[in-house]
Structure 1
Amino acid sequence: MTQQGVRWTVDQVLALAPDASSRKAGSKLGVAGPWSETGSSGEGAVWGLCKGSGSKPYQTLIDIAGVTGNTGIAGVTATAGPADGAGPADGAGPAYKCSCPSRKFPCKHALGLLLLWAGADGTVPDGEPPEWAEEWLASRRKRAEVKRSSQAAPPASADPEAARRRAEKRAERVTAGVTELEQRLSDLLRSGTASAEQAGYGLWEETAARMVDAQAPGLAARVRELGSIPSSGPGWPVRLLEECALLHLLDQGWLHRDALPSGLAATVRARVGLPARPEGPPLRDRWLVLAQYDTADSKLTTRRVWLYGTDSGRTALLLSYGAAGRAPALALPVGLALDAELTGYPGARQLRADLGEQFGAPAPTAERPPGVRTDEAAARYGEALRHDPWLESWPVTLSEVIPAQADGAWQLADAGGGSALPVTPAAASGPGLWRLVALSGGAPLTVFGECGHQGFTPLTAWPRDAEETVPLW
């Protein structure tokens, strides 16, 4: 925010926390007691000194506006090393610097300072940044200017023939892996699904390793998912056959990719695991940050950030990655709008995009995505499946829905009666559902989330006649 009278809400600040422990620790520091020499500037910087366990207070600084330009993939920015303790180095959203030893971005001190600033009670007054803060801010803006200049320069010439040969060699490896996978699926069906339960997870892990050797990580991930289905509860043979059918369809899509429409062929390549780059002209818009949440496995943490273009009406997805146990660098405050450029990835109805140049700090907006009834939400997911049969869910905003229970299961029902969408089992067992129920209090509200074959996962809510955006994750 470049206007000092505009502050974020507590929910918007806490939505930036990399995990629950950081959220709790940051909340404890969101009071004036441990802070001194705090301030904020019209250029979007907030700073302060936080008393810690040592003799010297921690120097904490947030560049709320961030800087224009970004690096890495899918909106991921580089992370500075422990020498300067900075968060995202050159771009995606707010950036953080703290002299504490934490490897989390933002750390608890940055969260506490943002909470203090969000209070707008005069505890963080307007002013000019101190020398230690100004040096870091000037350095960031200088790097951004250098990056913009380098991006404007014509790219260095590459050897297209060498690139073509590398692509062909990888395609040959993927084809060999797909052919082997097809044979293993045939063997499974020939011997019966009972053999999958007897073989255990080792069979699938071995097959997944073969797909990694074939440079098809997307296939490897889907094969590993097959290993968790046998003995997973009643009806597992049906679920196993369904997933095998989707895997077979993906194999056939790869083997016949030259005969597919260009958009579907790009989707097949992405699902197999081939790298892709954003392409086409960038789209500048005021992008409302709809939701942000993380999923993790033993090797990787994946952050998904949903955006809605208030002028274009387009919904886009930013992906960011972090090593296991470490939050990704990209973090945007839910409920605010970002004036920025996005460039989409190839593929049929592809939602994934790359965050490009930003033209200001995230700021409040009264714009909201238009909502639909629950039956229309299911229809939109079905339409998306026509273009991407492997799609697990589709982003949609529900208008005028009420969380309710039916036969012991939670659902979101149209306020006027008629249809309803079941809440996914994972969402129904989490704290976000109870927050949604409390927000509703039996009254209709607007909910953004993901609609898929298991139901609807609510991510963000807007109570009726209220401007506040409430993240549920």
Structure 2
Amino acid sequence: MTQQGVRWTAGQVLALAPDSASRKAGSKLGAAGPWSEAGSSDEGTVWGLCRGSGSKPYQTVIDLADATGPAYKCSCPSRKFPCKHALGLLLLWAGESGTDSSVPRGQAAPDWAEQWIKGRRQRAEEKRTTSGPSGSPAGDPEAARRRAERRAERITAGATELEQRLTDLLRGGLAAAEQAGYGLWEETAARMVDAQAPGLAARVRELGAIPSSGPGWPVRLLEECALLHLLDQGWLRRERLPEGLAATVRSRIGLTGSADGPPARDRWLVLAQYDTADSRLTTRRIWLHGAESGRTVLLLSYGAAGRAPELALPVGLALDAEVSAYPGAGQLRVALGEQFTPPSPVTLRPPGVSVAQAAARYGQALRDDPWLDSHPVTLARVIPTPDADSWQLADADSDLALPLTPAAQSRSGLWRLVALSGGAPVTVFGECGHRGFTPLTAWPEEAGEAVPLC
């Protein structure tokens, strides 16, 4: 955003909203009426005073140059980030241009905004200089080794117990799983939590939802039991595995290592961003594509239940930054490192592949990670087409098609995709897996902005 001639679109701003209510309220504040003394600096700061119900206007300031996306400060009592005032100010800023606008450029920030900006950037610098290479304070290596050994012993005991429970299930027949109900699986998952193996616990809970889930559930249950058995055996025999596959097993068990891969600098295009939530945690997944390397990588950010994760990078932005990979064969997760320029809007799009090539890429990814549910891919020249009671993406240049996942067919993004296509080919980025294809972002065949679908 230091490139003040390049502004965000309204869609990119509203993608930051924590919920639909904030999106609606922020849209109403995206006009000049309630704002005064607004301005923006060449360093990526936007500020303004918003008239509210009280006697004093709300002081709103936004740091657009933050490495993890925009940061916000507002004197209003809202606990949402960003609040409606920050969204409104960003919308006003995004829609304005020129020195005579309501948000003039190249201004000096008022004291109340400057103090906050300097304070948070100083704290960020102190945190960076006092942390180790992984971003966390260095500890006692010997104590860390002993803790790792104790946890490995507990996981081994849990995996051994889980193997016995799977053996008992198959010996008694899959029909017994339906009769036992969910309680059996929840108790087993709790045992895996006690063993400090959250990855095993999550997969056990998924098993519990399969019995009586519809036609063909015994086949699905047997498939998932086989994958869980494979993961168990991978852990119990991890010393015999190649290092890359062993790292993947550790990650799937729940032992996520540090992002110690060599930093890779590129111009990273934000392909998609979406959240998934449970009662305890909100997980944000952000897919990036390297303009020079051609790599597609994944950033993860977490927020406590009810709070949005801190990292926010709307679709259509690009950032010149370094990323470091997490260990594991075929693993795409990275950590965001040094950022050389703030995120800014671009018209780039990743090159697409055919439907046949997309399926082949997912198959190749399974070779490195047999527990992989899906793999990121960009499809070129596909047309959303109804097929009986479902939808698919048909290859415009062949007779092949990829079915959409059941979850994708129930989202409003499907109709945005259909409207964008209008029966013509489009480019679609998404996740391709054994359940089908989940579209996340689309572009028109000719030049045009990215359209988020999630």
Q: TM-score, normalised by structure 1?
A: 0.92
Give the secondary-structure state (helix, strand or coil) at the position aligned to 1:31.
Answer: coil
Matches within 5 A, 1:51-66: 51-66=51-66
The correspondence for 2:196, drawn from 215, 223, 226, is: 215
CA positional deviation for 1:31: 1.6
Taking the aligned partners of 2:191 and 2:295, their CA distance within structure 1 comes to 39
Q: Bigger shift: 30-39 or 338-347?
A: 30-39
Deviation per CA, 1:118-150: give whole Å up to 9, x if none. Answer: 112522112221111111111222223334433
Matches within 5 A, 1:384-463: 384-463=365-444
* Equivalent residue number for residue 325 of structure 2: 344
The correspondence for 1:124, drawn from 88, 97, 103, is: 103
Taking the aligned partners of 2:252 and 2:345, their CA distance within structure 1 comes to 36
Taking the aligned partners of 2:157 and 2:181, their CA distance within structure 1 comes to 25
Give the secondary-structure state (helix, strand or coil) at the position aligned to 1:164.
Answer: helix
**Matched letter for residue 114 of structure 1:** L
Q: How many residues align?
A: 449
Q: Bigger shift: 52-61 or 304-313?
A: 52-61
* Equivalent residue number for residue 76 of structure 2: 100
Q: Which has the higher contact order (CA 8 A, sep 6+)?
A: 1
Deviation per CA, 1:246-277: give whole Å up to 9, x if none. Answer: 10000000011000010100000010011311
Matches within 5 A, 1:98-177: 98-121=74-97, 122-126=101-105, 127-150=107-130, 158-177=139-158
Taking the aligned partners of 2:308 and 2:84, their CA distance within structure 1 comes to 13
Matches within 5 A, 1:30-69: 30-66=30-66
Q: Could you tell me whether the CA contact under 8 Å between 2:316 and 2:347 is conserved in 1?
A: no
Give the secondary-structure state (helix, strand or coil) at the position aligned to 1:93.
Answer: coil
CA positional deviation for 1:414: 1.1
Taking the aligned partners of 2:327 and 2:174, their CA distance within structure 1 comes to 36
**Pair 1:203–1:464, CA change in 2 (3 A):** same
CA positional deviation for 1:20: 2.0
* Equivalent residue number for residue 313 of structure 2: 332
CA positional deviation for 1:306: 0.4
**Pair 1:273–1:148, CA change in 2 (3 A):** closer
Deviation per CA, 1:36-65: give whole Å up to 9, x if none. Answer: 111111111111111222222211111111
Give the secondary-structure state (helix, strand or coil) at the position aligned to 1:451.
Answer: strand
Taking the aligned partners of 1:152 and 1:209, their CA distance within structure 2 comes to 34
**Pair 1:103–1:433, CA change in 2 (3 A):** same
Deviation per CA, 1:177-226: give whole Å up to 9, x if none. Answer: 00000111111111111111111111011000000110101100110111
Q: Bigger shift: 458-467 or 203-212?
A: 458-467
Taking the aligned partners of 2:84 and 2:137, their CA distance within structure 1 comes to 42
Give the secondary-structure state (helix, strand or coil) at the position aligned to 1:333.
Answer: coil
Deviation per CA, 1:3-52: give whole Å up to 9, x if none. Answer: 22210011111111222222222112212222111111111111111122
Give the secondary-structure state (helix, strand or coil) at the position aligned to 2:323.
Answer: strand
- Counterpart check, 1:199 vs 2:166: no
**Pair 1:226–1:147, CA change in 2 (3 A):** same
**Pair 1:268–1:99, CA change in 2 (3 A):** same
CA positional deviation for 1:159: 4.0
Q: Bigger shift: 143-152 or 325-334?
A: 143-152
The correspondence for 1:188, drawn from 163, 169, 172, is: 169
Q: Bigger shift: 135-144 or 185-194?
A: 135-144
Taking the aligned partners of 1:364 and 1:300, their CA distance within structure 2 comes to 30
Q: Could you tell me whether the CA contact under 8 Å between 2:131 and 2:137 is conserved in 1?
A: no
Q: Bigger shift: 304-313 or 147-156?
A: 147-156
Give the secondary-structure state (helix, strand or coil) at the position aligned to 2:49.
Answer: strand
Taking the aligned partners of 2:305 and 2:129, their CA distance within structure 1 comes to 34
- Counterpart check, 1:23 vs 2:23: yes
**Matched letter for residue 21 of structure 2:** S
Q: TM-score, normalised by structure 2?
A: 0.96
* Equivalent residue number for residue 320 of structure 1: 301
**Matched letter for residue 175 of structure 1:** T
CA positional deviation for 1:152: 8.3
Give the secondary-structure state (helix, strand or coil) at the position aligned to 1:241.
Answer: helix
Identical positions, percent: 76
Taking the aligned partners of 1:322 and 1:212, their CA distance within structure 2 comes to 20
**Matched letter for residue 105 of structure 1:** F
Q: Root-mean-square deviation (CA), in Å? A: 1.7
CA positional deviation for 1:156: 8.2
Matches within 5 A, 1:215-364: 215-364=196-345
Q: Bigger shift: 444-453 or 463-472?
A: 463-472
**Pair 1:417–1:158, CA change in 2 (3 A):** closer
Taking the aligned partners of 1:347 and 1:39, their CA distance within structure 2 comes to 46
Give the secondary-structure state (helix, strand or coil) at the position aligned to 1:39.
Answer: strand
Taking the aligned partners of 1:297 and 1:112, their CA distance within structure 2 comes to 29
CA positional deviation for 1:158: 5.0
**Matched letter for residue 111 of structure 2:** E
- Counterpart check, 1:378 vs 2:354: no
**Matched letter for residue 12 of structure 1:** Q
Give the secondary-structure state (helix, strand or coil) at the position aligned to 1:443.
Answer: coil
Taking the aligned partners of 2:46 and 2:139, their CA distance within structure 1 comes to 43
Taking the aligned partners of 2:185 and 2:78, their CA distance within structure 1 comes to 38
